[in-house]
Structure 1
């Protein structure tokens, strides 16, 4: 079991797997975050781990268990396919490691709740890597709403859609937790919760399934909350790239484009439209990947524990959309035997 991080010493991070998101986004951002050092990278292939550590530092390890056995690793980042999160997050927590896992934390509400409970009982930090909520543009947008910039909020319309992926992409593999809902669908659903709170319920949903691949490739959902507020979300993997939300109120509309995956050098613009004119609020660029890593590292250093309620509520909302959209016709993803590394997430 790893030692508890000590004040004044960097958090020592290990990475389970060499997935594309880790190599392309997370590890480059990690180098800019204070208070953390890369201790080790594990892969099923020792050669692959060495390729990554040659670029970013740390020790290369063959096999994920080898990393979890290291006493000089305080926390682990898990970028494995979604269906592999539950067993490896569970093993990491049992080894006394804090965990940052790619979204979704698991593909099953019961597994999510169980892991949250395990982290809480052990006093460990468990976080789901939802990067966009760490970008200041969304906190600025929420502050405008609370200040009444568009009057009383009536509805949120949020969308995240991407063009088709390569045929071998793990998003098309049901046994690895693929599908649009678990991947791109989680963003607009999370945005609705972020902007409107956790009182949202699923009124109805649709999911379009690719019969050959056995995964959902697009979907929509209608949510309703207290006081008649609503949210409409849509998502998919067969679309023109779309990443935005708008909030319509009694006296105006707030729009945020490039909402979920902006480049680190992107200058966000929040557009507020009212009857007396349109205001464009330009903000400074921000690297949301570095922001989420910094928040995790600070939580580990402070012994902040897990933010479990929010993780479980997100899992429940996704499950409700799936249930409404499929009416039970799609079987649950089968457990995966092996990880798939190096593919885009």
Structure 2
């Protein structure tokens, strides 16, 4: 494995797993900054390379992980596949449906594995929720709701720069959208949305969306980075409600709490701890070793890109009011 960029998510979450996993060898990290490349390489015991192109020319690397800002994904995924590398790319895979579709086509043409890195999908708690639903814990689901919000981020970071693909929709909003697909399927329609725009930067810092599944089941979503932290989803059915309180970024040591409300009965389950980052890496490398070609989860990845565009299209925009009580 090689890594294009020394982003915070790479340093905190992915690189330690790439070093520890017996099925991967971290060969090199690349940065545009000589010192950052050297410091990261020294920390993780691999080579440090200045320039992403230099890393892609190495013949001792089979696959790359790309944690760059979203607006750079299309270019560097394209370059990586042209160099014959399988690609694990941070979400979102690109900033538009057209670019996502183009990357899918290129993955097929090159016969390479391409994966959008939604790590939360690889946590075992979601399979347990599916089992509870199949067992009738809440009956027929009528409403799916999900929120992912974090406190204000570094104002100098890419998330506040529209030319780099900043904004809350692409950063936190994609999680509830992907979770809605997980439980309601790909045939979702965006009925309405809101976005709050930071007038200084032009990026959206908060938003909501209302969607409907083909059978009329509703999805209520909220997201942003001007919030108290919340990472949650709930499924409300005829017989009760299941709530997952640490849905998207649970620490690997956490035993996730799940709440089940059934009429006058309240049950709190404590699920098994799991390492979703390790699960994402293992799924990616397993696909490569199995001889798989093309994009993983192609239908849902394409639909995800469409849903993001539909939210943008339908959203009413409001000015952001920082510090409002």
TM-score for both structures, normalised by structure 1: 0.89
Match for residue 100 of structure 1 among 80, 85, 88: 88
Bigger Cα displacement from structure 2, 98-107 vs 53-62 = 53-62
Matched, 1:230 2:196: no
- Mapped to 1, the partners of 2:200 and 2:234 lie a distance apart of 34
Match for residue 71 of structure 2 among 83, 91, 98: 83
Displacement of 1:276 after TM fit? 5.0
Displacement of 1:181 after TM fit? 0.1
Match for residue 66 of structure 1 among 45, 54, 57: 54
Matched, 1:263 2:251: yes
Secondary structure of the equivalent of 2:172?
A: coil
TM-score for both structures, normalised by structure 2: 0.95
Q: Highest relative contact order (Cα 8 Å, sep 6+), 1 or 2?
A: 1
Secondary structure of the equivalent of 2:166?
A: coil
Secondary structure of the equivalent of 2:30?
A: strand
Matched, 1:310 2:300: yes
Alpha carbons 1:253, 1:274 under 8 Å: kept: yes
Alpha carbons 1:123, 1:303 under 8 Å: kept: no
Q: 1:162-205 deviations in whole A, cap 9, x for unaligned? A: 11112212111101000000000001111111111111110111
- Mapped to 2, the partners of 1:235 and 1:269 lie a distance apart of 21
Match for residue 31 of structure 1 among 19, 24, 29: 19
Which residue does 1:319 correspond to in 2? 309
Please report the RMSD computed on the Cα atoms of aligned residues, expressed in angstroms: 1.5
Which residue does 1:22 correspond to in 2? 10
- Mapped to 1, the partners of 2:22 and 2:187 lie a distance apart of 36
Match for residue 244 of structure 1 among 232, 248, 253: 232
- Mapped to 2, the partners of 1:33 and 1:147 lie a distance apart of 35
How many residues align? The count is 317
Mind listing any 5+ residue stretches in structure 2 that lack a counterpart?
319-325
- Mapped to 2, the partners of 1:222 and 1:32 lie a distance apart of 41
Displacement of 1:46 after TM fit? 2.5
Matched, 1:281 2:269: yes
Match for residue 158 of structure 2 among 153, 159, 170: 170
